Structure 1
Amino acid sequence: MKTKIDIGIDEKSRIEIANGLSRLLADTYTLYLKTHNFHWNVTGPMFQTLHTMFEGQYNELALAVDEVAERIRALGVKAPGTYTEFSRLSSIKETQGDLNAQQMIAELVAGQEAVVRTARSIFPVVDESNDQPTADLLTRRMEAHEKTAWMLRSMLE
């Protein structure tokens, strides 16, 4: 038996918000995997700095994945949780081949910025639905990704 959800957001809007959050979850998980890959495989004179930095970033992303998925569930929708679903939903593509440290940083800047764009794209329905918990989540995620993109970008200059 499915219990009716009555949190002040109509079902159509809840589903639309959850679908947007599912794209955000897929982007976040894909970026997590890419960052973890680069943590393992970075080489060169900046190895120690980047290895440590990437570890901090993928740990932060791991926590974010859980928070986004739990918000989807709170809205009464099943969170995607397979590589197939993430691949279909994500705007971030997997990296192929061996990259040098500078290329890895550039890939991660692009990934961080993609997550921000995805989060920002959900705001119209969130605002229209008066969904403050999701708005708060999106704002915190955008702030984290914009800051990380800035820090990574500064390493390319």
Structure 2
Amino acid sequence: MSEAKPVITALRQVVADSYALLGQTHLCHWNVRGPGFFALHAAFEEQYNEIFVAVDEIAERIRALGALAPGGLSKLAKLSGMEEIAEDVPANEMVAHLAKANEKVIESLKNAREAAADAGDDETEDLMIARTQVHEKAVWMLKAYLA
């Protein structure tokens, strides 16, 4: 378990950051308006649904490693510290904010991937690589919208 401790700590951060991103994406889904409404409303919904499933998988990985997964909105918000977006901002600001938030998750995933590699935890490392690919694609798509 001592080798797993840094992995668990890093995974808890990934859960917190992912959950914060999920909440921010959901907020944008609810409040987006303007000419890009239909495309963004649908894209945000697809993203938050995908993140919801992923958070569950990561939390279950923490449990498989013998630790407890973090939970509770205030605890997750404090652990993440992710900047929140106001409810009433233009669509382009929402998109830029979500790109930045995805980049924060990518950084947490990188840290967890490295901790897993150091611990010889191939399963967690693979999961972090797969999640990184999803978030890198999201960043690309969000930034492409702004181009």
TM tier, smaller: over 0.9
What is the one-letter code of the residue matched to 2:80? S
Q: Deviations over 1:57-86 (max 9, x none)?
A: 001001111011000000111000111221
CA contact (8 A) 2:103 2:139 kept: yes
- Equivalent of 1:125, from 112, 115, 118? 115
Within 2, Cα distance between the matches of 1:131 and 1:122? 10
Pair 1:90-2:77 in alignment? no
Paired residue secondary structure (1:12): coil
Pair 1:154-2:144 in alignment? yes
Following superposition of structure 1 onto structure 2, how do residues 65-144 of structure 1 map, counting pairs within 5 Å? 65-144=55-134
Q: Which residue of 2 aligns with 1:7?
A: none
Q: Deviations over 1:100-130 (max 9, x none)?
A: 0000000000011110011101233211211
CA contact (8 A) 1:102 1:156 kept: yes
CA contact (8 A) 1:91 1:114 kept: no
Q: Between Structure 1 and Structure 2, which shows a larger proportion of helix residues?
A: 2
| 1:147, distance to aligned residue in structure 2 (A) | 0.4
Within 1, Cα distance between the matches of 2:135 and 2:33? 24
CA contact (8 A) 1:112 1:145 kept: yes
Pair member with larger Rg: 1
Where do 5+ consecutive residues of structure 1 fail to align? 1-10
For this pair of structures, how many residues does the alignment match?
A: 147
Q: Deviations over 1:22-66 (max 9, x none)?
A: 000000001001101110100001100100010100010011110
Within 2, Cα distance between the matches of 1:79 and 1:128? 21
After superposing on structure 2, the runs of 4+ consecutive aligned residues of structure 1 that deviate more than 3 Å are: none
Following superposition of structure 1 onto structure 2, how do residues 55-74 of structure 1 map, counting pairs within 5 Å? 55-74=45-64
